[in-house]
Amino acid sequence: MYGVIQLKGHQYIVKKGDKIKVDRVDVEEGKSFVHWEVLALFDEQGKEVKLWAPFVKNGEVKLKVLSHFKGDKTNVIKFKNKTRYSRKYGFRPHMSELEVVSVGVKKSAAKKKETKTEKEDKE
């Protein structure tokens, strides 16, 4: 199963085992966290699609923080012709590398759904 998540204003296509580089998250290295902003879920063949407005109901993605680091340098140059004005500066954004542990629907929600169908079958 793979999905589309929204994290820090950016969207990523993720599946189990992927490693993604994102803007720095406030979680310590080696710790895991659950992200709820899942925009879409797909099965491996792409047949079953779960969409919701704006997020998938009970959808979750478990992520593990591998490391924090500084990204590549971005140069910014300002220049105005004929006025002898020029400025050059740059910065290196703080980033995090995350590993996707699991993608799917919250397990407790799936269990509730199964128990409801079992009760209906008995009646």
Q: Which residue in the block uniquely carries the two structure tokens 């080696």?
A: 30
pTM: 0.76
Round the average pLDDT of the chain to a whole number and report it. 88
Residues 5-61 pLDDT 10s? 999 999 999 999 999 999 999 999 999 999 999 999 988 876 778 887 888 888 999
Domain limits, the chain = 2-67+97-122
Residues 36-48 pLDDT 10s? 999 999 888 767 7
Residues 70-109 pLDDT 10s? 999 999 999 999 999 999 999 999 999 999 999 988 877 5
pLDDT at 43: 86
CB 90 within 8 A of CB 19: no
pLDDT at 50: 81
Beta bridge partners of 104: 60
